Amino acid sequence: MTNKHNWTELFESLPDEELDKLAILRIIETSNGIIQFAFRDKTPDALSVEDTRKAMGFSMSSIKRMQIVLENETIDFAEPTKDIMALVRKYYVSGMKQGSDEDYEEFLRSSLACLQAVGIERLERAKDKLFAFSYAMPPYAWEYGMSYCRNFLKEGLPT
């Protein structure tokens, strides 16, 4: 199967400022994903219903509006970044929510390319920023997303 888009080129074409913003968004969405799975699976460390909903609301609002509201600032994405992420979201919805295996694979390729373009150092800075300036999730939850990103970068795409 061939890639539908050159995700690496798309993400690497973005300026550093936008990659910084994407790093924050990726930590938010991956932290929320871990929280949602823990809640659904009823794991011992799952958050309460209220905290799980709060995490999901913050994540979904940030993704859909392409705006991240922190305690000390509001982060708005530039139009080219919004366009790329709208395309990524299309593959996510089709693949994850509607069951298209091909689109799910395309989403995974886009996700890996995004994380590679952003890089681990930006992700660490993003996690630290969220720890200091966001109360939408418990402070320790930001490490959930960071761990997921580290593992995804290390392991790559499933074969």
Q: For 71-124, how does the pLDDT look when each residue is reduced to its tens digit (9 = 90+)?
A: 999 999 999 999 999 999 999 999 988 999 999 999 999 999 999 999 999 999
- Average pLDDT of the segment spanning 22-32: 98
- Report the run of H or E that residue 50 belongs to, with start and end: helix 49-65
Distances (CA, A) of 8 to 4, 76, 135, 139: 12, 22, 32, 31
- Tell me if 57 is assigned to some domain: yes
Q: Which residues pair with 67 in a beta bridge?
A: 76
Q: What angle do CA 136, 138, 144 make, to 5 degrees?
A: 105
**Is residue 144 pLDDT above 50, yes or no?**
yes
Tokens of 63: 């993704």
- Tell me if 154 is assigned to some domain: no
Backbone angles phi, psi at 109, to 5 degrees: -65, -45
- Tell me if 153 is assigned to some domain: no
- Tell me if 2 is assigned to some domain: no
Q: What is the domain count for the chain?
A: 1
Q: Which domain holds residue 126?
A: 7-148
DSSP 8-state class, residue 98: S
Q: What percentage of the chain exceeds 70 in pLDDT? A: 97
